[in-house]
Structure 1
Amino acid sequence: MQVAAIQTTPEPGLDANAAAHARLIGEAGARVCVFPELSLTGYVLDPAAAITEDDPRWSPIRRACTAHDAYALVGAPLSTPDGAVIATVVIGPDGDTLGYYGKRHLHGPELDLFTPGGHHLLLEVDGWRLGLAICYDAAVTSHPAEVAAGGADAYVVSALYAKGSEGRIDRQMGHAASLGMWAVMAQFSGRTGGYDTCGGSGVWRPGGEAAVRLGPGPGTARATLTRT
């Protein structure tokens, strides 16, 4: 199965980012397209900016998924009955929302602004089971362990890593891969939310070897997941 970890630099405004997401899905040529944490807005910690799953501004992404027979894992501040959640929203190839994963391990100012997610999400695509994570989730070693125990074939992380965090990426993705899963991580390039990000999005094989790894600039890390 082909996956793409898409490393973006956020545009000002949700509409512009949605249009960019749609274009990048078309260019990726992958069955599963993974975007960074809060990719639809940039790393803006504003619960008032949270959108619902049926917001019409999702439309360009829905159309792109349908046109390219793709799944898109999009980072967004999501409005839910329990409060605003830092979420990965899953749009399927028919354009429907298939569910969302809410970041379980909030940190820093996120703790006062957002509601932690309360469940794991195991997404099934073409016989592959993808366990989702958002940024700091991957730093809590029990999180990928729980995802692996739940039967995931791949640990899929939407993240933000600031400059100087390159070693953290290696450790965290390496830990997930050491549990027998593929690891897929998409994060930003450039500046967002007051952070200068370091890039480094990629795909790691079970065991920890990098199949593909990006540098600091925008781009797409594509790989084909295979059974070992």
Structure 2
Amino acid sequence: MITIAVAQPRCAPRDVAANAVAHAEAVRAASARVVVFPELSLTGYHFDAPVVSPDVLGPLVAACAETGAVALAGAPVAGPSGSGRSIGVLEVTGAGVRVAYRKMWLGGEEPAHFVPGDAPAAVEVDGVRIGLAVCKDTGVPEHAAAVAALGSDVYAAGVAEHESDLDVMRSRARRIAVRHGVWVAVASFAGSTGEGFARAAGRSAVWDPRGALVRSAGAEVDAVARAGVVPRPAGA
């Protein structure tokens, strides 16, 4: 079993250095092996945010080193071909930073600013496989199926949703959990950010493989929710 947390830290628009400090504080507060963060959590949901350089993530790397945590943070990253930008998930450990996943299913005006990723992805922590997703990915059945096919025990998603879309986020999470027999961890942006997100949903949460809500944060900035998750039995 590992403990996974979903965090919704404060976010200063495009200020990666300040947001790295906020992420580091969230990692320390979470007391979890894995901490999942919302979509574009290191910059805010801004279409013009530049690719995040690992050089400014020192505080987050240090927090992961101190706590033994793996952070899955949202950021603009270089596209899969090395050109353009993608909406990515950075895997941050005490050893450094790498791009773990690029959002495959872009929504709204995102295609005018970002390029999609070209493959599903999962990371493994202490024998638990954690499949990765970003926002609209969660609404695409083919994506959940592809992530499950990687042998994932957990489907972890960073999202930015309007407060009015909270029920959509939760129904997607339950559907994925039940259909694929996986834990679902959703880190949801809280507070306000760019591109019309005056009131983001927050309420990050974890569901068990039966679709039951196990833990949920509130709508407030800096909230964290955590739960213990176990891998599926071999052959299940």
Q: Which amino acid aligns with 2:57?
A: W
- Aligned pair count? 224
Asked if the contact 2:24/2:59 (under 8 Å) is kept, the reply is yes
The residue aligned with 2:26 is 24
Aligned to 1:101: 101
Cα shift at 1:25: 0.7
Name the counterpart of 2:201: 198
Q: What are the equivalent positions in structure 2 for 1:17-96 lying under 5 Å apart? A: 17-46=19-48, 49-52=50-53, 55-80=54-79, 81-92=82-93, 94-96=94-96
Looking at structure 2, the residues matched to 15 and 51 of structure 1 have their Cα atoms a distance apart, in angstroms, of 10
Partner in structure 1 of residue 219 of structure 2: 216
Deviations 1:105-135 (A, max 9, x none): 0111110111101111110100100000000
Q: Tell me, yes or no, if the aligned pair for 2:9 and 2:26 is still in contact at 8 Å.
A: no
Return 5+ residue gaps in structure 1 as ranges: none
Aligned-residue CA RMSD (Å) = 1.4
State which drifts further: 67-76 or 11-20. Answer: 11-20
Assess if the C-alpha contact under 8 Å between 2:88 and 2:99 holds in 1: no
Give CA-to-partner distance per residue, 1:158-200, whole Å, 9 cap, x none: 0011011121112110111011000000011111112111112
Question: d(CA) in 1 for partners of 2:146 and 2:88?
Answer: 19
Q: Is the 8 A contact 1:8 1:187 kept in 2?
A: no
Q: Give how far 1:82 is off.
A: 2.8
**TM-score using structure 2 length:** 0.91
